[in-house]
Structure 1
Amino acid sequence: MAAQATFKSIKAVVPLLDRVLVQRFKPETKTASGIFIPSTAASTPLPEATVIATGPGAPNKEGTLVPTQVKAGDRVLLPGWGGNSIKVGEEEYFLFKDQDILAKIQE
């Protein structure tokens, strides 16, 4: 598992280069019929997340800045692995490289 950092405010975290700060959607704790799902059954992280902040991008081989493909507020699809975990109080966020994000979810 990746190293975990803890901060007092998520605003203190400013992604660099092509890093993207996301918050995964929380798994449902109750079914549509009202049955509560135990936390052990919902241990697999959901692949969807909301982008909180992005870095400015990273330079390509020619030195030109290539901006990140997503922006704050976008819904994205994440791989089941990777990312660096960041705790802010009880909330958990993740930093991913822009290229590791699988897709942007259109509504």
Structure 2
Amino acid sequence: MAKRLIPTFNRILIEKITAPAKTNTGILLPESSSKLNSGKVIAVGPGSRTSDGKLIPVSVKEGDTVLLPEYGGSEFKLEDKTYHLYREDDILGTLHD
């Protein structure tokens, strides 16, 4: 049975995107060449609440590619995959093609 984590409040579950080690033509890339720290949104919480109880929904959705800070988030493993949990405030932006 596969487990599924649903974040609470304004937390976002991210699977980090790793840069390819090789180009399409077979050229090996050094590890430091990829400075972009990005990830794919796997799940989002319902959002946070204002002082009067009104729900403020999360601004990203499942499947979005987001730009992440260099440090932060909580790393954990779930069924042999590594995920990161961030608060919505930590997400720097959304990446679009």
TM-score interval, smaller chain: 0.7 to 0.9
Alignment partner of 1:84 is 2:62: no
Q: Distance in 1 between matches of 2:95 and 2:3?
A: 23
3-state SS of paired residue (1:53):
strand
* Residue identity opposite 2:56 in structure 1: V
Identity of aligned residues (%): 35
Structure 2 counterpart of 1:70, one-letter code: V
Once the two structures are superposed, residues 10-35 of structure 1 have per-residue CA deviations (whole angstroms, 9 ceiling, x without a partner) of 51x11001000001111222245424
Counterpart AA for 1:29: A
1:49-64 alignment runs, 5 A limit: 49-64=39-54
1:28 and 2:20 are equivalent in the alignment: yes
Listed one character per residue, the Cα deviations across residues 41-97 of structure 1 (whole Å, up to 9, x for unaligned) are 35x885111000000001022321101010100010011110001213442110000
Q: For structure 1, list consecutive stretches of 5 or more residues without a partner in the other structure.
A: 1-7
Out of 3, 8, 16, the position equivalent to 2:8 is: 16
TM-score by length of structure 1 reads 0.76
Provide the alpha-carbon RMSD of the alignment. 2.5
